Chain A
Amino acid sequence: MSNGMTPIVKTITGWVKGFILVFGIYIVLYGHLTPGGGFAGGVIIAMTFVLITLAFGKDEALKRFRIGIASELDSVGALMFLVIALLGIAGGLGGTFFTNFIAKSNPGEPYSLMSAGTILLSNIAIALKVGSSLFLVFILLVMTKVLYREPGEKP
């Protein structure tokens, strides 16, 4: 795993990884206008790093996206989503949990990027959460070496 795959795979991965990442970000940002959204986009973003792991080995992927950072982003995404929901109580006109307070005070042009108020922000929060946690799940399962230890042996 540490050496990665053949040069063909490595070269192609080097070409496409940027496009996949940008596509993932596009899906996140335009989630309220086209099919997709925070979850789908977050998965695609995570897949960029999964692809790098598969092609170049886990060390190369961990150089770009360290586990500590992924774990922090995971919590940040969840907290950001919660804060957006709570701001609905504090700043909303209707004043309920999850009120779309930006769209109520400042409705944008329909079908444009800035039209959906908090939905865009929520999508970004979800993308952070999903992208980092999916990457974490994958990389942690890859990193764990499954070895049988005799009862007395220390891990």
Chain B
Amino acid sequence: MHYALCLMLFMIGLYGVMVKRNLIKIIISLIIMESAVNLFLVMIGYRKDGIAPIMTKGMEAGTFAARAVDPVPQALVLTAIVIGLGVTAMTIAIAMRLYERYGTYDIKEMRKLKG
């Protein structure tokens, strides 16, 4: 059920990317899509009453294994967020340059290319 909500969020982002005309709104839609996927990855690793997957002094290996959450999705999300940060920074930089050239954020008015 929760996963369906992730998919919905993903689709909302996709809708925004496809339909919106403003560069900034497209970037925000892209961020929404990335967040949806990150949320999905975090939810895969969710465990009720779980503890952080870090062994501390005096903890028994058995209880640790029984209660710790899966660390892999968290590592994935961290990496995905970093990549998302890089992509977003890149997009914003290009959008700023585009504004410099065209004086607008409206994608319909950028018509130097045919396609």
State if A and B touch, Cβ cutoff 8 Å: yes
Q: Which residues of A contact B (CB under 8 A)?
A: 33-35, 39, 111, 134, 137, 140-141, 144, 146-149, 155
Residues of B within 8 A of A (CB): 52, 54, 56-57, 78, 82, 85, 89, 92-93, 96, 99-103
Expressed in whole angstroms, the Cα–Cα distance for A33 and B52 within the complex equals: 12
- Expressed in whole angstroms, the minimum distance between the Cβ of B47 and any Cβ of chain A is 16
Contact A35 B52, CB 8 Å, known A141-B92, A146-B99:
yes
A137-B89, A141-B93 given as contacts; is B82 within 8 A of A39 (CB)? yes
B96 touches A141 (CB 8 A): yes
Q: Name the distance in Å between B38's Cβ and chain A's nearest Cβ.
A: 15
Chain A proximity of B16: nearest CB distance (Å): 22
What 3 pairs across the A-B complex have the smallest Cβ distances?
A148-B103, A137-B89, A111-B57
Provide the bound-state CA to CA distance between A11 and B12, in Å.
43
A146 and B89 contact, CB distance less than 8 A: no
Contact (Cβ within 8 A) A146 B78:
no
User: Are A144 and B96 within 8 A (Cβ)?
Assistant: yes
A35-B52, A39-B78 given as contacts; is B102 within 8 A of A148 (CB)?
A: yes
Determine which of A33, A34, A146 lies in contact with B96 in the assembled complex, contact meaning CB atoms within 8 Å.
A146
Report the bound CA distance from A84 to B83 in whole Å. Answer: 23
Could you list 16 examples of A-B contacts with CB < 8 Å? A34-B54, A35-B54, A39-B78, A111-B56, A111-B57, A137-B85, A137-B89, A140-B93, A141-B89, A141-B96, A144-B93, A144-B96, A146-B96, A148-B102, A148-B103, A155-B100
Verify B92–A149 contact, CB threshold 8 A: no
Within the complex, what minimum Cβ distance (angstroms) separates B109 from chain A? 12
For A141, what are the chain B residues with a Cβ–Cβ distance below 8 Å? Answer: 89, 92-93, 96
A147 to B101 Cα, complex, angstroms: 9
A-B contacts besides A34-B54, A146-B99, 11 pairs, CB < 8 Å = A33-B54, A35-B52, A39-B78, A137-B85, A141-B89, A141-B93, A141-B96, A146-B96, A147-B100, A148-B102, A149-B100
* B-chain residues with CB within 8 Å of residue A35 when the two chains form the complex: 52, 54
CA distance A99 to B88 in the complex (A): 33
Smallest CB gap from B99: residue in A: A146
